[in-house]
Amino acid sequence: MKKNVVFACSSGIATSTVVAEKVVEHCKDHGIEVVYQQAIIGELPSLDNSADLIVVTSQVETKLNTPLVNALPIITGVGEEELLDKIIKLLKG
């Protein structure tokens, strides 16, 4: 199963890279191949509807059609497993 995911943070590089690595590896362990791109939070409206899931590390005020999760638990380590499992459920839909 192949899924498209957008990882976004304030700079489009720092925390989204850390989160992308963990999510991609977790998905691989569950039979999901992730094709992804990294973005800046401000780019999300133009990326809406182009992915199966958007994973962010900062607050997003814009209403989007694409399912979105805040990956702060992956950065902090608090609630990380629960969030990774939620991502798998969302991608397997």
> Annotated catalytic sites, by residue?
9
Q: How far apart are the first and last CA of the chain?
A: 12
Instruction: Determine which helix (DSSP H) or strand (DSSP E) holds 4, and give its type and residue range.
Output: strand 2-9
CB burial of residue 76 (10 Å; 0-12, 13-18, 19+): exposed
Only one residue has tokens 């925390």, namely 15
